[in-house]
Chain A
Amino acid sequence: MGLKQEDYLASASKQQKVDADMEFLAAPVKSAVDKFQLLPEFLKVRGLVKQHLDSFNYFVRTEIKKIVRANDLIRSKVDPSIYLRYKDVWIGEPSLLESGINEKLSPHRCRLSDITYAAPIYVNIEYSNGSHGQKTFPVEKTLPVVKNKVVIGRMPIMLRSCCCILHGKDEAELSRLGECPLDPGGYFIIKGTEKVILIQEQLSKNRIIIDTDKKGCIQASVTSSTEATKSKTVIKMEKEKIYLYLNQFASKVPIMVVLKAMGMESDQEVVQMVGRESQYGALLLPSIEECASNGVYTQQQALEFLEKKVKRSPYYNPSLDQGGKALVILRDVFIANTLVIQNNFRPKCLYVGVMLTRMMEAILNKDAMDDKDYVGNKRLELSGQLLSLLFEDLFKTTNEEVIKSVDATLAKPSRSSRFDFSQLLVKDNITHGLERTLSTGNWDVKRFRMHRKGMTQVLARLSFIGTLGHMTKISPQFEKSRKVSGPRALQPSQWGMLCPCDTPEGEACGLVKNLALMTHVTTDEEQGPIISLCYCLGVEDLALLSAEELHAKDSFLIMLNGLILGKHRRPQRFANVMRKLRRAGKLGEFVSVFVNEKQRCVYIASDGGRVCRPLVIADKGVSRIKKHHMKELLDGVRNFDDFLREGLIEYLDVNEENNALIALYEGEATTETTHIEIEPFTILGVCAGLIPFPHHNQSPRNTYQCAMGKQAMGNIAYNQLCRMDTLIYLLVYPQRPLLTTRTIELVGYDKLGAGQNATVAVMSFSGYDIEDAIVMNKSSLDRGFGRCIVMKKLSAENQKYENNTSDRIIRPQRDGHDAERMQILDDDGLAAPGEIIRPNDIYINKQSPIDTRSKVSSPAGLEDKYYKPSRQTYKGPEGETAVVDRVSLFTNRNKNLCIKFMIRHTRRPEVGDKFSSRHGQKGVCGTILQQEDFPFSERGICPDLIMNPHGFPSRMTVGKMIELLGSKAGVSSGKFHYGSAFGEPSGHADRVEAISETLVKHGFSYNGKDFIYSGITGLPLQAYIFMGPIYYQKLKHMVLDKMHARGSGPRVMITRQPTEGRSRNGGLRVGEMERDCLIAYGTSMLIYERLMISSDPFEVQVCRNCGLLGYYNHKLKTSICSTCKTGENVSTMKLPYACKLLFQELQSMNIVPRLKLTEA
């Protein structure tokens, strides 16, 4: 990093000059270049996938203990004195219990040997054994038994989390463990496959959301979520009356009845609570009238009214009904997040009051409506939260099962053995539950009626950037099919939190998002201290307020995580104090304080799943970060956390950003400015960060590149040659881009690049470059440009069978007719690494026992004749010579010997292979020409590829042109140039003027155009040609994997038509539209040939009498109609076999298709 060095030197020299000048030291950082150093620091502290790691760490450290503490006691129903209490829970080191020995696991071993990277969950338990046989008497209590470090299951461990053995390891230690130091972690290894739990986007829980339903009715909804219950409460204005919709009630319920049922009997109080202004009263009036017309005046009447509306379960037993079910619903389900303590429903009433007011404000003024797509109203659910849901469920079911088995044992009349509670703790339930859920991705939590599919995905290992991009992907809350534009549109509140470029094309466009570079996702934080702090800071408790005071004009409501805390008369001051406390570290760094003037509320949030990002704090527009801070950072005496701790930097979430005025650069700050961005390019994510000069491109081009960067071949990881993935694409000579960005350096793309710097001439040439095709130089390809390695995995298992027999691998035959196919086998019966493997070659000489069921006397010493060969042969494309790269042997979960083979194939680019630059400009190789035919410049430079200039006008990828200029200047001056997004003002991107100057200094034209001679005629071209290096990616789509043609070939058994698809060597279908064309053209014989002769012609015998199909009797050599039982009147005709099949299928359904023949 040439630039960084210079900066450092410059700042160091300056430092010397004015060391004593304290005034200078106190001056704010002049340019933003200096602040950039915070970014690598930030990433060093947090890592690239910190959101996953933080979430998992929180789960492992805090959440799991909470869950166990909440369900710590299990007691037998038969004998209440028998109990088990969980004292503590923690997660150990990842290990595997193998034949009684705890063996430490390393992630790479798990990958290679298809096992789960998991650690035991330990608990400390205390339980009573009870006495023998008889029911215990409460008097003679036996002392509880204490058992420590009991394993209750195995928890899959997220790589690089605090439980992982990779945690805190340095580069050398990581490589010793077979791990790539640049790998971000944040995923799990389940049965050898790497699984990511996608970040789930959701509407925030426990918050009032005002919006409209399908009919346009305005509603206020709250999705409550507590440890115990999850519910959705909707209050809706329908035909001017306000109703409550709750799942537990069979139909809508008038809200006034609900309020009355909760003890707010006075209509006046209700009106006061909503607001005394006449318009509110007018809106409430119809509801009040309805309530009166229903004859509901008192709490008792209201409860009786509600009782009738309660949904009855189908197997409802009226005798069991104790009444008061409505009250229970109102207490536990209705707005479940406000807790009812000692049947005090007042907070709940006030909550309804706030909901009603918000709703009415929205009715009176449409602007007060909430935006569901607003990022501040969204929460991101991460792996930790999802795992805790799952673990809680599994833990509870385990406990229930324990009770069940305890009760079953206790209920037995006579027990001989000593009863030991701890023996009944089965650990398989949790282990398997976690493993199954993570490997299938189906979250089924019955208690919350949660059935979500596709939550985990196999980590994309196609390219390093693809892996990173996969970790930051956010999967949407909506189904993809919804044709709505709102949630797909780019929200202004996404600024800095979610990448504006990185989204897929097509159906998931705009719904699937990606995190930006600096985004952090919060985890839950303890509410208690915040509540007491708020009361200390002068929040008036809700309980002390009358209904009318709820909306008093002189004070603001204080809400904490959707809970009404009370009121404050000086909200701004309160907010400022809260923020000061946060900056001083007295409050969690991720607690957000947001004053909403419009709603007259102060929202304090400490819940998990909010997105936030760090910003530099400014006092009256002057940055708090001074030069000496940055110097200390560079000297290594200060790190990112110090900046946070000293209140120089803070995290703001989307809501609090609304209270801040954030300047992009220091120079733009005014006195009102409260914060300054660290670096503007951090609004982009990892994938978009690779693009040089993205701010000069048309925006969809950046989006296309984000999708394509994930398909580019290159280096996957440092341990790529030790990995045994099913498919690996590697580039033989990957390079780092000549035109880099800061993001590239931060994420390590310069170390694991996926592309090559190709000298590109932008000109039309040979006609084989139309429609984005590119012309390639054969000599460049000869020298290794675009060469790639494709590795595929083959695997085999040495199976064991029921009767203890097992497969065996034997020495290959060295002569005989199979010897040729066994050439590549070693003496151990396995293909040897380095051997060339051709289609139909045997790569494992395996035999399996013929009899796998019946008992065999000596399973090990079975005679040879009881084995049948079950060799596995390589089925690759004909003509492709692949090489056995590696063979690995391991024992899998079932204690069977497994063998994995990596088959490697090196390919050079050919016509039709797909390439792309970093600007969403993909194209296939149109033709490959000799170097001598290629144009050459005055300096003898010959381009590697030629790109058609028509690619530019419509795509408007100016960034690509600047990349060309910058790379050209880079190669001529011998230094990397930068093209970070929005980087020109801060010096992270070189300006075109500066680049042009460098070009001129090295004797090139300022515009990058060279004087070119034609290689064919030898004469100069009649134009100057824009020529220079551009970073080109080779994409994974290669002709070799796609090309397909067939003459005759396999057919489907049932229809006798040609098979479908390349993998089955299928035919090429003449489809409906092709058929239409042929009809329109009048080529009836061609249709006949295509649809019948070349497909499934079949000769049938048709009875002219009955019109049914007969058969040909080969013995009698006559055709017979089986219905008429004669051979007369039977004609032979041809029809498609599928047609005959249809007739027979119809006949089987008692429909008789009869053929009437006009001829014959």
Chain B
Amino acid sequence: MAKVPIWDLPDVPKGELPPHLELQRTRVLCNSDAPTHTENIQYSGAYASMGVDNSVRLGQFQNNFKVEVIRVTEDDMEFDMIGIDAALANAFRRILIAELPTMAIEKVLIANNTSVIQDEVLAHRLGLIPIKVDPRLFDYMSENDVPHEKNTIVFKLHVRCERGGPRLTVKSDELIWLPNGSEFPLEAANLTSNSTSKPKTYTSFRCSQDSLPEFSENPIGLKYPDITIAKLGPGQEIELEAHAVKGMGKTHAKWSPVATAWYRMLPEVVLLQDVEGEKAEELKNKCPKPCNVFDIEDVGNGNKRAVVARPRACTLCRECIRGEGWDKYVALRRVKDHFIFTIESTGALPPEVLFTEAVKILEEKCERVITELS
């Protein structure tokens, strides 16, 4: 950098950061070698000497915070979270992955399994099948709880491949919900109980689940009917009962309500100089097809100029700043307080509900902190 006498520097207006500091505060600079200024400055007095207050203010946050939903489908959504700290955005992400409960098959009672797939592996596969049910309607099952209609969903799977027939692929739609609970009698109880009363089974449902109002309309099922569970050869058979309980992603990934949830910071592509003519063409071509960030603008008399048309599409492949001198033309940045959040739900709950649930959990946690403190 050229030496500039200090008195030639422009005056810095009070209460406002100089542009380079403002840039560092609000943007991650994605240079070709490494990203810089990735950290957030949390200290309220960090810029006190320049008369800038860096403290977090609720009012300010309330004014600035925005959520813009970009895309919502049944299973995934993308939305922008603007004006929030990375720590908070990350907290939502972490809660979504690990702390939102869902129902997943935890216990598998295998009556018969003559397939090539081992019992444990079969149970593991069943566990990972997403179940389409609102977990909020269920309770956690603690250690000394008995399985009942409020904490357990029972499925049964009974398939056999007939001899002489072709091989059979067992798909997840073969899992049948048993609203009345387990059908397998408890062996020990069987001996003592008389024939008139219902035989004791592995669950003690007081009533059928489908008689409950929340399920009568909307029977419990699996999210996808076409997940391969096992393959059976002629003469092989699987008979089992799967008990799903409520749990959290922390314990096992099968209870995670999201396939994944993540965010990225809003890309910002800045042309530091005008890129014109052939150079503009080159820049446009440099950016790979799926991103196609740059466009070419006709500036009249046959002159062309590159413009940043779709900065959001930037995947940070850094092709545009690859090569000698290109970093003088293009700067890749990320906006630190603008998060493009994506949630891919596994199907238990729609993604937007998942997010609100996550907010609730964070709220709860905050409240717990506050109560602990006060």
Contacts and interface: CB of A to CB of B under 8 A. Distances in A.
Interface in B22-49: 28, 30, 34-36, 38-40
A411 to B, nearest CB: 65
A75 to B, nearest CB: 61
Interface in A751-785: 778-779, 782-784
A298 B249 CA distance: 101
Given A1018-B90, A1021-B35, A787 B124 contact: yes
A1020 B319 contact: no
Interface string A1028-1046: 0000000000000000000
A1010 B289 CA distance: 18
A931 interface: yes
17 contacts: A834-B113, A883-B119, A904-B118, A931-B249, A932-B94, A939-B315, A940-B260, A940-B342, A999-B317, A1004-B317, A1005-B316, A1006-B322, A1011-B316, A1013-B263, A1016-B90, A1017-B87, A1019-B38
Interface of B: 28, 30, 34-36, 38-40, 86-87, 89-91, 93-94, 97-98, 110, 113, 116, 118-121, 124, 128, 249-250, 252-254, 256, 260-265, 288-291, 315-319, 322, 334, 342, 344
Contacts of B249: 779, 931
A364 interface: no
B66 to A, nearest CB: 19
A932 B260 CA distance: 10
Given A942-B260, A1024-B34, A1000 B317 contact: yes
Of A931, A940, A1002, most buried by chain B (CB within 10 Å of CB) is: A940
A822 to B, nearest CB: 15
Contacts of B250: 930
Contacts of A1004: 315, 317
A1011 B319 CA distance: 13
A940 B342 CA distance: 8
B260 to A, nearest CB: 5
A856 B34 CA distance: 89
Contacts of B317: 999-1000, 1003-1006
Given A782-B253, A787-B124, A931-B253, A1022 B97 contact: no
A1125 to B, nearest CB: 69
Given A931-B98, A932-B98, A1023-B35, A1017 B86 contact: yes
Contact of B262 (A779, A789, A936, A1005): A936
Contact of B253 (A779, A906, A940, A1019): A779
A1020 B98 contact: no
A575 B318 CA distance: 63
A779 B40 contact: no
A940 B261 CA distance: 7
B125 to A, nearest CB: 8
Nearest to B38: A1020
A1018 B35 CA distance: 15
Contacts of B263: 1013
A6 to B, nearest CB: 22
Contacts of A721: 116
A1015 interface: yes
Given A932-B93, A932-B97, A1020-B334, A834 B253 contact: no
A732 interface: yes
A1062 interface: no
A1019 B40 contact: yes
B37 to A, nearest CB: 9
A635 interface: no
A155 to B, nearest CB: 36
A1160 to B, nearest CB: 60
Contacts of A784: 124, 128
A1134 to B, nearest CB: 50
Interface string A991-1006: 0000000011111111
Contacts of A1019: 38-40, 86
Contact of B34 (A782, A1017, A1023): A1023
Contacts of A393: none
A938 B264 contact: yes
Contact of A783 (B90, B97, B98, B128): B128
Nearest to B261: A940
A812 to B, nearest CB: 16
Contact of B254 (A782, A936, A939, A1020): A782
Contact of A732 (B87, B116, B121, B256): B121
A1018 B28 CA distance: 13
Nearest to A1010: B316
A885 interface: yes
A1003 B128 contact: no
Contacts of A1013: 90, 262-264
A940 B339 CA distance: 13
A999 B315 CA distance: 12
Contacts of A906: 118, 120-121
A931 B94 CA distance: 9
B93 A1018 contact: yes
B366 to A, nearest CB: 17
A820 to B, nearest CB: 13
Contact of B319 (A1000, A1016, A1023): A1000
B36 A1022 contact: yes
Contact of B318 (A779, A931, A1005, A1022): A1005
B113 to A, nearest CB: 7
Given A904-B118, A1001-B290, 10 more contacts: A932-B94, A999-B317, A1002-B290, A1003-B315, A1006-B317, A1011-B316, A1017-B90, A1018-B93, A1019-B40, A1020-B28
Contacts of B262: 936, 939-940, 1013
B227 to A, nearest CB: 13
Contacts of B288: 1000-1003
A1018 B90 CA distance: 5
A732 B97 CA distance: 25
Contacts of B344: 940
Contacts of B118: 789, 883, 885, 904, 906
A1139 to B, nearest CB: 52
Nearest to B259: A940
Of A936, A1004, A1011, most buried by chain B (CB within 10 Å of CB) is: A1011
Contacts of A1005: 316-319
B4 to A, nearest CB: 29
Contacts of A1017: 86-87, 90
Nearest to A1023: B34
Nearest to A1012: B35
B321 to A, nearest CB: 10
Contacts of B253: 778-779, 782-783, 931
A366 B344 CA distance: 77
Contacts of B93: 932, 1018
A1021 B120 contact: no
A1051 B125 CA distance: 46
B54 to A, nearest CB: 16
B38 A1021 contact: yes
Contacts of B87: 1017-1018
Nearest to A1007: B318
Nearest to B37: A1022
A936 to B, nearest CB: 5
Contacts of B319: 1000, 1005-1006
Contacts of A1022: 34-36, 38
Contacts of A782: 252-254
Contacts of A883: 118-120
A1108 B93 CA distance: 79
Nearest to B31: A1024
Interface in A774-802: 778-779, 782-784, 787, 789
B360 to A, nearest CB: 18
Interface in A812-830: none
B315 to A, nearest CB: 4
Of B36, B116, B319, B342, most buried by chain A (CB within 10 Å of CB) is: B319
A1048 B365 CA distance: 47
